[in-house]
Amino acid sequence: MAIEIIGTGKAVPPRKVTNEDLAARIDTSDEWIRSHTGIGARHLADEDTACSDLAFEAAKNALAMAANLADARGEERDRAAADAAKSIDMIILGTATGDFYGCPSTACIVQDKLGAHRAGAMDIAAGCTGFIYGLETATALLGINRERKRALVIGAEVLSRVTDWSDRGTCVLLGDGAGAAVIEKTSAPSEGPGRRGILRTILGADGSGKESLIIRRGGSRYPFKEGETIEKSAHIEMKGQEVYNFAVRAVTETIEALMEAEGIGVDDIARIVPHQANARIVQAAGKRLKIPIEKFFLNMEEYANTSAASIPIALDEMNRSGQLKKGDLIMTIGFGSGLTYGGNLIVW
């Protein structure tokens, strides 16, 4: 038995904000942002769009692909997605910017929108590593119960809602979007020749870095008080250099650990799909491991850092543009708030 990805989808808001647009509002420049991060633009949601709206769109695209209607649009896509949603047993959604604080989960809102009535649903709070944690959780939940066959794993964020637009150290980095994958238990082997699907996952955390990337206010530690004016502490705060150093170490060590556990070398891996936070992080890790930069898929130039959505958006773009071939061995590598890190090794 293998657990394979049978559909991918993404949704990004149409409003594109370039580096130049930001430079017109705050003290930054296209040159600084590109040279320090590789980011050229980000897509930002309008006021009426919440996390579940983007997640719902990405999920419909993934479900339509799972129903062999990857190119369907409009009503045809919605019908295919609604049909396929009935077969989903579990919805796992990684986010730091869900529709509501604490409850209900955004996964439940998506379950309702999709009409995925038999699916259990829950959110995962693992920062930018949310999709990797979600994929492993969903894989385990399918594996443990023979009744469950299919799951939907989503990463979705509206980071623009928690961004301090006067802080040039964070606002230039972040974007909104959602990505989704449908996974299914199949009869393909998961070991030996012809093996398929999600082979192995590493999940890690270092909670001592909890303050390095944090939305400080609104929880039970520093709750909002009635009548209080919302100020900066309700937004994302980041110690950039600390996160950078952690990220380079996490990417390098997770790639090494997955290769070692599986007894494979760099040449066995077709593509690596890193969290799209900063091209320099990927370049630094690639240099340490002597992995050519072309092996990494990078799209932060267009979308910036969409946190838990970045890896599934990347997977969908690669999948739909024919960059993933059946049988390819690929790696996802993530890191983020928590601090968390992890990676999946998948035969496509």
Q: Which residues are catalytic?
A: 128, 275, 305
Contact residue for ligand UT7 among 36, 195, 200, 320 (CB under 6 A): 36
* 243 near ligand UT7, rule: CB under 6 A: yes
Residue nearest ligand UT7, Cβ-based: 240
**Token match 């593509």: residue?**
271
State in angstroms the smallest separation of the CB of 87 from ligand UT7: 33
**Count, residues near ligand UT7 per rule CB under 6 A:** 21
Determine contact, residues 192/328, Cβ cutoff 8 Å: no
Rounded CA separation 56/44 (Å): 17
**Chain residues 267-306 in contact with ligand UT7, contact rule CB under 6 A:** 277-278, 305
CA distance to 32, 171, 237, 337, per residue, from 38 (Å): 9, 14, 21, 21
CB of 142 to ligand UT7, least distance (A): 28
Residues in 167-186 that interact with ligand UT7 by CB under 6 A: 168-169, 172
- For ligand UT7, the closer of residues 208 and 241 by Cβ is 241
Kindly tell me which of 106 and 305 has the beta carbon lying closer to ligand UT7.
305
Q: What is the β-pairing status of strands 16-18 and 41-43?
A: antiparallel
Q: Are 121 and 88 in contact (CB under 8 A)?
A: no
Q: Using CB under 6 A, which of the segments 46-54, 148-156, 222-230, 236-244 binds ligand UT7?
A: 236-244
CA–CA separation, 277 vs 87, rounded Å? 34
- Bond preceding residue 104 cis, omega within 30 of 0: yes
Helix, strand, coil share (%) of the chain residues, nearest 5: 40, 25, 35
The residues of the shown chain that bind ligand UT7, judged by CB under 6 A, are 28, 32-33, 36-37, 128, 168-169, 172, 213, 238, 240-241, 243-244, 247, 277-278, 305, 307, 336
